[in-house]
Amino acid sequence: MVAIVTPFKNGKIDEKALGDLIEFHIKNGTDVIVPCGTTGESATLSHEEHHRVVEFTVKTVNKRVPVVAGAGSNSTSETLELTQYARKAGADGVLLITPYYNKPTQEGLYQHFKTVADAVDIPIILYNVPGRTSVNMLPATVARLREKNNIVGIKEASGDMKQVSEVIRRCGGDFDVISGDDFTTLPLLALGGVGAISVTANVAPADCAALFDAFFAGKKEEALRLHYKLEPLHGSMFIETNPIPVKTALALMGKIVEEFRLPLCTMADANKEALKKALRNYSLI
């Protein structure tokens, strides 16, 4: 699954570039499009823009692959509104980040997600990324939420494989545990995970898809080869705060305009040179 960027041009959403990116992904084996996540700069989209990106993505994909729309917020009422709109727009599921900044307790996290799950009949993937939110949703809380029929999985970006293992053990095989960190994708699959919502797939979708194809076909050596091939590229995607490097990379590849929403800004020159080197080594530019 790709955590797709939101291209901007002259301060507005560049729908032509977004449509071209969606076609690029479908052509190169991406299984699911995930708009309006962290990589999609959702935190700086207005509600109107957020709605439009989801609506445009659903329409452009046209049921060729599923669309899982980012719909999370640090406010339960806002999360509920975004989730309701995603369902209305025809998204196949939603990705809901743990509320950030206000640092809810584990009970608060449970009540937040339960409220949304009870109100909107759409498959929900939880999203745990404590490095962004300052709150870590513990396996016991995930196991409680797993009892809700429409909470179907979790994007785990804690980087803690012990925690991932405990989530899988507690929640069972029909609960999808998905990597939220490209570096940990192969180890997570080995533990019983089933996928990834990837940043690197924005620039190298074919190889990211091939790693999964190899792993699930039992071709472990090929999966390992692709893991190590991709590893330097993964590193280059996080030289600076995501999505600055990946959007810069896509601009260098000629796919989007290099434009961000403040407080995100252009890369430092030295980091941009390092990114260019990684892209050249991967034959992407």
127, 247, 272, 282: which one is catalytic? 127
β-bridge mates for residue 68, sequence order: 93
Residues 133, 38: Cα–Cα separation, whole Å: 11
Helix 205-216 to helix 220-236 angle, to the nearest 10 degrees? 150
**CA 60 → CA 86, 188, 202, 242, 282, distances in Å?**
15, 31, 17, 25, 29
Helix 76-89 to helix 106-119 angle, to the nearest 10 degrees? 30
127 classed as catalytic? yes
103 classed as catalytic? no
100, 148, 155, 228: which one is catalytic? 155
Strand, coil or helix: 133: helix
CA of residue 247 relative to chain centroid, distance: 14
Amino acid identity of residue 129, one-letter, is V
Size of the chain, expressed as the number of residues it contains: 285
Residues 283, 232: Cα–Cα separation, whole Å: 13
| Residues identified as active-site | 127, 155
